[in-house]
Structure 1
């Protein structure tokens, strides 16, 4: 089964059109000649953004990511956030064309399936079709352990309440995405709607539903979540995920 693109057409609400156009224009002006293409994912290009609640997610492709100065990028972000308060946050990922083409199950998946091209030539069209299989799911999760460990360390050392709530929300989302990857062969599609992800996990995974519902609740509202309790449950969820991934790897090996 071939994995299809999450966003098949761009539908940007009127509240965000000027913001998106201005962000792209300023990135291209600031880094003239260094940008190959610009992509978006999430609620804004889907036309499902909520003013004063939704953030903006961009991915910028270039030949050499070192050409992009993050301090200059931050100035653009801060300026636009002040001008367009309907946007809560701007995230920008920088990656190389080579990464997308040489890592089809990582950056290739991100650009081809998750993102939609807003400017330039869509390099995702050069990424081979992605076949849903145990091999793909295993490749997709190559960096999951490192990412989870990193998020755990950040949360364990966080002192600021605002930072704690943001980290818990992001950590919850990352674990839900990891669990969802386990059921791709059952669903046949990549969801970016967390509610649909949660329901698919409950339908197809044997994990304790209370753990999944807890993560989803933390994703929705992490304001009053106790860090120690969250970390304990996050560890339990990741332990389940790791065992399921190892079982998948062992099964794949037996069939190779």
Structure 2
């Protein structure tokens, strides 16, 4: 089975059109000549964003990510968040052209399947079709452990309640996405709707359903005790890691 693009057409609501145009314009002016293409994913390009609740997710592709100074990028975000309070947060991922073309099951998947091109040539068109397979699932999760450890540490040390809420929501979403990747061969498609992901996990995964329901509840309402959440999150990740290791061992036995 070949993965199809999550967003097949761009439908931006009127409340967000000026914001998106201004973000792209600011990025191009600030980093003149260094931007290959700009992409979006999530609710805004799908046309289902909720004013004052939804965030904006951008991806910048360039020759050298080091050319994009994070402080200057952060200044752009701060200015736009002040000007457009309809957006709660702006996330920007930066990757290189080589990342997309040479890591098709990681960055290639992200740009080709998850994102839509807002500016420049869509480099995702140069990524070969992505076939759902154990090899793809393993490659897709190559950095999951590092990401989970990073957010676990950040959440453990967070003192600000707003940060705690954001980390818990983000960590819940990341773990649900990881679990969903395990059932791709069953679903045959990538979903970016968390509720749909949760239901697929409950249908096809052998994990305790209470753990999945807890994560989903935390994604919707992150007002929980950090220690309790981390305990559940660690239990979920342990299941995921064991499943991934089993998949890797099975793949090796056929080589």
- Give, in whole Å, the separation in 2 of the partners of 1:226 and 1:68: 37
TM (norm. structure 1) is 0.98
Aligned counterpart, 2:102: 102
Aligned counterpart, 2:122: 122
Deviations 1:198-256 (A, max 9, x none): 00000000100000000000001102x01111111111101110111111111111222
Aligned counterpart, 2:46: 46
1:50-129 matches, within 5 Å, as 50-129=50-129
SS at match of 2:85: coil
1:169-188 matches, within 5 Å, as 169-188=169-188
Task: Find out whether 1:195 has 2:195 as its counterpart.
Answer: yes
Flag as ranges the 4+ runs of structure 1 deviating above 4 A. none
- Give, in whole Å, the separation in 1 of the partners of 2:155 and 2:41: 25
RMSD: 0.7
SS at match of 2:75: helix
Shift of 1:148: 0.6
Aligned counterpart, 1:166: 166
SS at match of 1:118: strand
Shift of 1:156: 1.1
- Give, in whole Å, the separation in 2 of the partners of 1:32 and 1:232: 46
- Give, in whole Å, the separation in 2 of the partners of 1:72 and 1:148: 27
- Give, in whole Å, the separation in 2 of the partners of 1:215 and 1:177: 11
Task: Find out whether 1:211 has 2:211 as its counterpart.
Answer: yes
- Give, in whole Å, the separation in 2 of the partners of 1:151 and 1:83: 29
Aligned counterpart, 1:28: 28
- Give, in whole Å, the separation in 1 of the partners of 2:66 and 2:247: 37
Shift of 1:25: 0.8
- Give, in whole Å, the separation in 2 of the partners of 1:27 and 1:156: 33
Shift of 1:157: 1.1
- Give, in whole Å, the separation in 2 of the partners of 1:73 and 1:136: 32
Aligned counterpart, 2:19: 19
Shift of 1:76: 1.0
Aligned counterpart, 2:7: 7
Aligned counterpart, 1:251: 250
- Give, in whole Å, the separation in 2 of the partners of 1:90 and 1:156: 23
SS at match of 1:106: helix
- Give, in whole Å, the separation in 2 of the partners of 1:70 and 1:240: 35
Q: How many residues align?
A: 255
Bigger Cα displacement from structure 2, 242-251 vs 199-208: 242-251
User: Unaligned stretches of 5+ in structure 2?
Assistant: none
Shift of 1:35: 0.5
- Give, in whole Å, the separation in 2 of the partners of 1:231 and 1:157: 12
